A and B are shown apart, each in its own frame.
Chain A
Amino acid sequence: MLESLLTALESLKVNAFRTSLTMLGMSIGVAAVILLIALGEGTKSYIRRQFNDLGTNLIIIQPGRTETKSPLGPPPGGANRKLTLEDTRALRQWGTLLSAVSPVTVGSGTINRHGRQRDVTILGTDDLFPEILNVGVGMGRFISSNEAFSGRRVCTIGEVVREQLFGDENPVGQIVRIARSEFRLIGVMEKKGTTLGTDMDDLVFMPVRAYQKLFDISGLFGIRAKAKSQEQLDAAVKQCTKILKRRHQGHEDFTMISQEAMMATMGTILDMMTYILAGIAAISLVVGGIGIMNILLVSVTERTREVGLRMAMGARPVDVLKQFLTESVVLSLLGGAIGVSVGMGGASSIALLSAKFQPVVTAGTVALAVAFSIGIGILFGVYPAWRAAALDPILALRRE
């Protein structure tokens, strides 16, 4: 084994340039696979962090229900029975596994003050909402429980909205106009950034009752609840379902989505995306393999006489086969090793350039790449090696 390895290295050294070019093909393929899987894994952990930012243990309750299982819930507008503030209260009262429950209404509107204005997303909710979504108040205070259900016209705004409307002025206590009604500004949220595509700093919060009056609606967009712990998430979902079903005369006309289920679905989608990308990258590995086969066929032709001589000296066909196959595997493995280091180097460069996004190269990925390299070496080396082994020593010796 060591013998064939040394022989292989020796003959690869002779055509160093040719060898490097062939290895380059393998290297690019392996590097691409490593990098794409690293990016996929990185994306997955990035999104997981985003979900965690939103608050783990989160339970999303939306009105309406379809038999179709979807992590995105039922299509909006299809509900014949809305979720109400009474539902929220019931959950709060009987939901022993929940640490917080908040009603949510969502819409868009314009907020303005002294001619400065901004089109924003408006959320009507109550005092527990910051706890559920893991957001804090930076200045002033959030809506109180009393205000939420009495419908007082107060509001809390995000950092981006404050910047636009007030600049350097102190906003707390000022009057703003939302959808042509006057609201007193009571607080500014802490800067949070974008989570899952929503800019958390570009929102306006108001008491849920105030929202219902302002837009003249009776129901809710949905309810957000938080389980006491991750372990109790499933039980909490069951409990919520039971409570709401009783209130809705036994009809399960709403949909529960837990954070975990959403994450699992996203994970599956991302895994699939990663596999598809890696599969595309693997095509370049096949191209690299064809390069190896090509160069080995050339090598067999060039060394026909050598093969003949070795056979005359007592090499069996299997010895010749082993020699060329070893050469092929050494070639693909060296190329693969270079590819692994280039891929890992690329991944760490990306990690250095981006603070948020960290590509992940796992040991499993590297093992996969190495195994693939060996596989390619064998797969594309067998035919040239077999050709060499099948040579007739007499004819081979006569070849010029």
Chain B
Amino acid sequence: MSSSDSTLIDLEKVNRVYTASSQRAQGIDVVALRNVSLRIERGELVAIVGASGSGKSTLLNILGCLDRPTSGSYRLEGQEVARLSTAALARIRNQKIGFVFQSYNLLPRQTALDNVALPLVYSGVGRRERRRLAARELERVQLSDRAHHRPNELSGGQSQRVAIARALIQRPSILLADEPTGNLDSKTSLEIVEIFRTMNRDTHVTVVIVTHDLDAVAPVPRTIKLSDGEVVEDQRVPGEGGSSGS
């Protein structure tokens, strides 16, 4: 399996080791990821599952360029990012990665519109243009009527849709969702997952959902299972091809 133009994420023998910094725990290293090699193509819809402590959060942080591997290589769209500076990583997060969190993480004092526009602040887009783009993005998640509401005036499902709009506003290559349905009831969860599916199908954005509850997101075309920091299962469901086209 060699990497090609359609390869978006290419992890090779990635290790992530946490070295305890306190005096008492000196010398006790925690291996969160062990020799993880993984390739995700453009347009895939992938679920990463595993029990807590399996290393899935660590993997997500590395995929999202919030963290760097201790060793190994991570190529994102062919660019080696494992050794980039914090400022360079911030740039990549801004341009290529959209985050969706379990607890939405909306800024409480800002309207839905300004929350959606937040990533544009860090790519130097002017205020008026930001709002115009944010309004368009809110329309895609059917929340135009909530544009001027603050997060405390939104339901959980609405909040998560605002967060998805925010994640997609820069037209990122990857949408990384960390337990996106963890705070939602099952009906709303289905709606949210459906949005991911729709976005994946319509815009070919690669979607990676991290969850401990596979049933909440099923069916997905590809499931990667982690245990003790290692990939123990990488399963593709035939017929659920996502939009990768391969």
Contacts and interface: CB of A to CB of B under 8 A. Distances in A.
Interface of A: 3, 10-11, 14, 305-306, 309-319, 393-394, 397
B118 A310 contact: yes
B87 A317 contact: yes
A14 B150 CA distance: 14
A350 to B, nearest CB: 43
Interface in B26-64: 61, 64
A274 to B, nearest CB: 45
Nearest to B169: A313
Contact of A315 (B64, B99, B101, B122): B122
A312 B175 CA distance: 12
B105 A318 contact: no
Contacts of A3: 121, 127
Contact of B93 (A14, A305, A313, A397): A313
B105 A305 contact: yes
Contact of A316 (B90, B101, B105, B109): B90
B94 interface: yes
B86 interface: yes
B107 interface: yes
Main secondary structure of the interface of B (DSSP, over half): helix
Contacts of B94: 313-314
6 nearest CB pairs, A to B: A314-B94, A314-B122, A316-B90, A316-B87, A313-B119, A309-B105
Main secondary structure of the interface of A (DSSP, over half): helix
Interface residues of B, number: 23
- Which residue, A3, A318, A319, A393, has most C-beta atoms of chain B within 10 A? A393
Contacts of A311: 66, 90, 93
Nearest to A311: B90
A319 B118 CA distance: 13
Given A3-B121, A394-B61, A394-B66, A314 B95 contact: yes
B230 interface: no
A206 B131 CA distance: 91
A228 B122 CA distance: 73
Contacts of A397: 101, 105
Nearest to A306: B107
- Which residue, A3, A11, A312, A393, has most C-beta atoms of chain B within 10 A? A312
A397 B107 CA distance: 12
Interface in B53-106: 61, 64, 66-67, 86-87, 90-91, 93-95, 99, 101, 105
Contacts of A313: 93-94, 99, 118-119, 121-122, 166
B123 interface: yes
A387 to B, nearest CB: 15
25 contacts: A3-B127, A14-B109, A305-B105, A306-B107, A309-B105, A310-B118, A310-B122, A311-B66, A311-B93, A312-B66, A312-B93, A312-B105, A313-B99, A313-B166, A314-B93, A314-B94, A314-B95, A314-B119, A316-B91, A316-B122, A319-B90, A319-B122, A394-B67, A397-B101, A397-B105
